[in-house]
Amino acid sequence: MENRAFAASAATPDCPATTLATPDLEEQITLLSASITVATWRLLMLIAELDRRSAWQQWGVLSCAHWLNWKCGIDMGAAREKVRVARALESLPLVSDALARGELSYSKARAITRVATPESQDYMLMIARYGTASHVEKLVRAYRHVERLQESARARSAHAQRALRWSFEDDGSMVFTVRVPAEQGMLVVHAIHAAVDAQRRERDGADREQETPTDGSAETSDALIPSANSFDNAESPVAARRADALCHIAEQFLAHEAVPSRQAERYQVVVHVDRSVLSGEGHGDCCHMEHGGAIAAETARRLVCDASLVTLEEGEDGELLNIGRRSRSIPPAIRRALAHRDQGCRFPGCLNHRFVDAHHIRHWADGGETRMDNLVLLCRHHHGLLHEGGFTLERRDDGKLLFFRPDGDLLPEVPKPPLRVRDIAAIVAESGVDVSAETPRSLWDGSRMDLDMAVGGLMGLNGWDGARPPS
C-alpha cells in the first residue's frame, strides 16, 4: 500500500508547520508518529542482528549499547534500552508484530518487554490496546513492585538480622559475634585472606608451617604473656592467623583512614616475573601469580604496566640475592596530571572514567619512560585489549593517539557520519504496512484500570503462584 496521507501534505521547508490547519497538524503528528514506530521496529531488528553477531566487538567497544552511543550519538541509557528491547522482542513475536504495524508505540513496547513472557504477551497487548501508555507503565511498575517484594523478602530478612556484638571474657580476651548477609560476609572473608597473606609476606623467613601465629604476637606471647593460642591445641593456627589478620585490618584502617585510596594499590596481585619476560624475550611459562597458576607474558606486562614493584634477584638455585625497595611505576604527581589530562579511558567510544590504569605506550621494560607523553589512561577492558587483544596504539608527535584494530585498521576517534539519510516514508513503504493517522489510536474508553486485578492476572500468566517465584 502506498502511504497516501504521508505524501499528501507533510510539513516541509516549503510548507512550514505554521501554515497548517490544526486538524492537519494533528493528523500529521499521529501519522508521522506511527511511521516513526514502524521505522523504530526496523531499527530494533537491525540492532538485534548486530548484537547477535557481536559485530560491535571489532571496534573494541564494550557492548552493543556503547557502539550505538559511539556511532549514532544515542545516550547510554537510551542505547542500553534499545538493545534490551531489541533482544526481548525475539521471544515476544506478538509484541514485535504490533510494533512493526505501527499500532503499538515504542513507549508501550518498552514497558511491556520489561515484564512480558511468551505466555503473557497477549494479555499485555490487550492492556496496551485498550489503555494508554501510562496505564501500561502503571501496571508494569505495580507488577515489578510486587515481584521485587517477593524476591527480596528473603534477602531483607538476612539484611534485617545483621548484627555485630562483642563481650569481654574473664581471661582478658574479647569475643565478637557477627551476622551479615552472605555476600557482605564474603567481602570480609576476602579482606581477611588478603590480610593473612600480607602478614605472611611480612614475616621473616622463619618456618611458616609452625604453629607460631605471627611474628609480633609470637614474640610477645612466648616472652611475656601466655596466650591462649600457644597452649590450646583445639585452636588451629589458621584460625589464630585470621584473628590476627582482623586486628591488622583494623590497625591499617585507623592508620590510613584519612589517606585517600591510592588506585594502583587497591588490589595487590603478586606476580613473579622473569626479567626476560618483561623485555619480551622470554615466554609465558616464566611468570605465575602468587597462590595461582601461570599467566601469559602479555598479561604480566599489563599488570606491571601500572603496579607496585618489588625487585627480587634470585640466584640460579632460587636463593634470594637481593630485595629492592618497593616502588610504584607511576608516581602520584604524574598520575594526578594524567587523570586531569585524560579524564578517563582514552579508547575511542569508551566512557569509563573510574578504575582506569595508566598504560605505558612504550613499555617501561622496553625502555619506555614514565612520562606524560608515554602514558595514557585506559580502563581495564581496553588495557587488556592493548596487551592481550592484539589492538595497538601509537602517539603522534602532536599528541594525537591512534588506535588500531588487530587487522591494522585505524579506529576513528569520531565515527564517520552516514553518507545519506533514509526517508522514513520509504522505510514505511518498504515494510508494506498501511500506516494512517488512525494507526496508533488507543481503544481506551476512559474507564479506570483495576490495577489489583491487572497485576493479579499478569502474575498468574507469568507463573507466580502465591509467594513462589516462577520456575
Q: Specify the residue, 176 or 355, whose C-beta has the smaller distance to Zn ion.
A: 355
Number of residues in contact with Zn ion under rule CB under 5 A: 8
Binding map of Zn ion across residues 380-419, x = CB under 5 A, - = no contact: --x-------------------------------------
Instruction: Choose the binding region for Zn ion from 49-57, 131-139, 261-269, 303-311 (rule: CB under 5 A).
Output: 303-311
Q: How far is the CB of 386 from Zn ion (least distance, A)?
A: 6
Report residue 83 as a C-alpha cell.
538493545
Locate all alpha helices (DSSP H) within 53-173, ordered by sequence: 64-72, 76-88, 93-100, 106-115, 121-129, 133-160
Among residues 300, 375, 379, 425, the one that binds Zn ion under rule CB under 5 A: 379
Containing H/E element for 265?
A: none
Q: How far is the CB of 234 from Zn ion (least distance, A)?
A: 49
Q: What is the DSSP string of 310-325?
A: --EEE-TTS-EEEE--
The reply to whether 248 sits near Zn ion by the rule CB under 5 A is no
Q: Specify the residue, 111 or 393, whose C-beta has the smaller distance to Zn ion.
A: 393
Instruction: Choose the binding region for Zn ion from 81-89, 123-131, 225-233, 378-386 (rule: CB under 5 A).
Output: 378-386
Rg of the chain taking only CA atoms, in angstroms: 31
The reply to whether 350 sits near Zn ion by the rule CB under 5 A is yes
Q: How would you label 62-95 residue by residue, b for 16+ Cβ within 10 Å and e otherwise?
A: bbbbbbbbbbeebeeeebbbbbebbbbbeebebb
Q: Specify the residue, 88 or 304, whose C-beta has the smaller distance to Zn ion.
A: 304
The reply to whether 305 sits near Zn ion by the rule CB under 5 A is yes
Among residues 42, 135, 138, 359, the one that binds Zn ion under rule CB under 5 A: 359
Pairing of strands 308-309, 163-168: unpaired
Q: Whole-angstrom Cα distance, residue 81 to residue 91? A: 16
Q: How far is the CB of 378 from Zn ion (least distance, A)?
A: 6
Q: How far is the CB of 400 from Zn ion (least distance, A)?
A: 18
The reply to whether 352 sits near Zn ion by the rule CB under 5 A is yes
What number of CA atoms fall less than 13 Å from residue 233's CA on the CB side? 0
Angle (CA) 465 470 471, round 5°: 115
Q: Whole-angstrom Cα distance, residue 3 to residue 434? A: 7
Q: How far is the CB of 178 from Zn ion (least distance, A)?
A: 38
Binding map of Zn ion across residues 254-293, x = CB under 5 A, - = no contact: ----------------------------------------
- Would you call 169 helix, strand, or coil by DSSP? coil
Q: Specify the residue, 59 or 106, whose C-beta has the smaller distance to Zn ion.
A: 59
Q: Specify the residue, 352 or 374, whose C-beta has the smaller distance to Zn ion.
A: 352
The reply to whether 345 sits near Zn ion by the rule CB under 5 A is yes
Q: How far is the CB of 271 from Zn ion (least distance, A)?
A: 14
Q: Whole-angstrom Cα distance, residue 355 to residue 377? A: 10
Q: Are 464 and 147 in contact (CB under 8 A)?
A: yes
- Would you call 395 helix, strand, or coil by DSSP? strand
Instruction: Choose the binding region for Zn ion from 11-19, 79-87, 121-129, 298-306 (rule: CB under 5 A).
Output: 298-306
Q: Are 212 and 167 in contact (CB under 8 A)?
A: no
Enumerate binding residues for Zn ion (CB under 5 A): 305, 345, 347, 350, 352, 359, 379, 382
